Amino acid sequence: MTRIIELVVDFKLNQEIIGRKPKYVEMCIWRLRRWQAFMEAEFEIQDVEQVEAIHMKKYIQYEHVVMT
């Protein structure tokens, strides 16, 4: 199983290698870690293979409520 945090770290490294601006990478990582924390807190999900469409829908609903 692939843990979400491992993919976040891989994503960060990849973005730095291809030369993305540090502020852009920082914002992406902040958003991904926020999503990761939500998955762990709400659904006790740490592995990417466990994420289903319903989990993404719930996160989008959560973000909509938090942002308004």
Sequence ranges of the domains in the chain = 4-67
Number of CB atoms found within 10 A of residue 62's CB: 14
Identify which of 44, 43, 38 has the alpha carbon closest to the alpha carbon of residue 66: 38
pLDDT category at 18 given cuts 50, 70, 90 is: very high
Share of the chain above pLDDT 90, in %: 96
- Which residue type does 9 have? V
pLDDT over 90 at 67, yes or no: no
The partner residues of 47 in beta bridges, in order of sequence, read 3
**Mean pLDDT in residue range 24-39:** 98
Q: What is the pLDDT of residue 48?
A: 97
Tally: H helices and E strands in the chain: 3, 0
Whole-prediction pTM = 0.89
Which residue is listed with tokens 């319903």? 54
